[in-house]
Structure 1
């Protein structure tokens, strides 16, 4: 464990958390505030309540003893690298919004959803049995390099002060086309063809005919006739749709879900994301590379879960398990250690 001189305490810094799928990024941060706000690693000892358990139980309503921020949120569905900044480290979080990121995602064919992932509702079903591993690999080339992406209409991005999803849900015609955004896909490859050997399924929630008509109405003013009807009939002997796994290295601002959605169209089918893992964000990675001395690993979420229940016994230097794990992976920006000093 890296040594941090007591004279350098408290420190400011950056570290990565291996976020699990399920909770929101903000829920993760709110839980961590309870630990970080009562640790001498980040807070002056004179400002730490003697009853640390009472301080932790204050939860998010308690007064923050130190600033905590994130360098780019992850949706509840997504897991992987979540970069956190503590104290002066929050001032360096902006660099992680535009940095290169790496993802691993599983795409399920034959179904398009409003959110482009399995958290949403079915919008349209399409044929998928004609799609092969080879056809996916051939289609990927058009998504590599400098490309332009259109953000999903069911997103919080605003147009004339109104979220795009509000236009789609209420059937309000879009005043103009959704502006495409330039992004760079540095690497994109098919790493696993699962076929039907998986346990994924389409979302149970489906768009009603009224919702489909509202979506078509909002889009037709800028895209012409829009057909959101199912293209396939119900299969009398349902077959599990094919799925495949992509690995990508992309610029900041890239919509991974849009790549899956647009790829489905390019294949003459439909597709949505069922798993999404951010494996790297800048210098923080789930599997840091030994040949990259500037790489930092991520603290497993289970370490913090245990500490929230019981911090456990401190070692000879007074550090508990979660504090040792953080120090092992901490990029200090205000202290004696770290590349950002």
Structure 2
């Protein structure tokens, strides 16, 4: 008898990642709990970091890139005066200086050039690759290589708190584009102040449209699953887990939505462009839209995938969901 690989579950789980756990460990633990066929995360958090970690299950993984590309929000505490090899609290201290004379005004002045469109040098302890090898592996071997600055945008960086003294700390609220390293902000701030710095704590508060208030912990999920399973059986346990999932189109919820009649939806699912009345009200040629099959008495509204507006007044398939038997149009 063939071993089951998992349930065909499609959706997005907004997980609150705890400190001390890698993003992949959190993903694998959730995948086993939900017993899903396919799963992936949408942008790793450092083991030290906590907060919003969207996990995509099943067909939702086809849209994970939209979350990878989305803006992120962070709250961080930066310890001034202490430099570590990893640029965060998990690393070894390599230099320490007094911060007794540093003022809030000096911190604000040092942060000013770090806002807006900037060029940022990634830290050596990062997953970026050089010649196929992650930089963090080179760093662990004591090798440091030159890293080209990369353009990022810091939309917002507000000071939440400043604690002056020999062990000065600054707390920041940051909204930034993908690829921004908060550890690099700490390094740049420390260099500007002449004392060095590292990230003491890091919390992701937002990923695209998703916020921490929507998140659930692994412990909460495991407890609810166990309680329902014991009371009503496995199916009830999985049902309570699935109730925490957002729909498969959640990563692209900001895109316009087009509804097709059943006959057009059939051909769209086969990979064919279909005509849509007044399609240009949804955007110009090439614009990406969510495509649904319109709800009928026999079938509920079904998400078919993404399409792009054509020059002929139609929509061409761009990313189509598998036609699950439960979702037949």
| TM-score normalized by the length of structure 1 | 0.65
1:88 and 1:153, CA in 2 relative to 1: closer, same or farther beyond 3 A?
same
Say which of 154, 157, 169 aligns to 1:185. 154
| Native 8 Å contact 1:137 1:189 kept in 2 | no
- The Cα shift of 1:139 comes to 1.7
Task: Provide structure 2 residue ranges, at least 5 long, that are not aligned to the other structure.
Answer: 1-6, 250-291, 293-299, 307-329
- The Cα shift of 1:274 comes to 1.1
SS in 2 for 1:331: coil
Q: Distance in 1 between matches of 2:112 and 2:148?
A: 23
Which position in structure 2 is the counterpart of 1:253?
Answer: 179
Say which of 216, 229, 242 aligns to 1:299. 216
The answer to which structure has the higher strand fraction is 2
- The Cα shift of 1:326 comes to 5.0
Aligned residues: 251
| TM-score normalized by the length of structure 2 | 0.67
Q: Which has the higher contact order (CA 8 A, sep 6+)?
A: 1
Q: Distance in 2 between matches of 1:173 and 1:319?
A: 52
Task: Provide structure 1 residue ranges, at least 5 long, that are not aligned to the other structure.
Answer: 1-8, 38-64, 197-238, 288-296
CA RMSD of aligned residues (A): 3.1
| Native 8 Å contact 2:22 2:47 kept in 1 | yes
Q: Distance in 2 between matches of 1:167 and 1:277?
A: 26
Say which of 141, 145, 169 aligns to 1:243. 169
Q: Distance in 2 between matches of 1:315 and 1:170?
A: 53
| Native 8 Å contact 2:225 2:240 kept in 1 | no
| Native 8 Å contact 1:15 1:331 kept in 2 | no
Q: How do 1:260-271 and structure 2 match up within 5 A?
A: 260-271=186-197
- The Cα shift of 1:332 comes to 3.5
Q: How do 1:1-341 and structure 2 match up within 5 A?
A: 11-37=9-35, 65-165=36-136, 174=145, 177-195=146-164, 241-287=167-213, 297-307=214-224, 311-313=228-230, 319-320=236-237, 323-324=239-240, 326-328=242-244, 330-333=246-249, 336=301
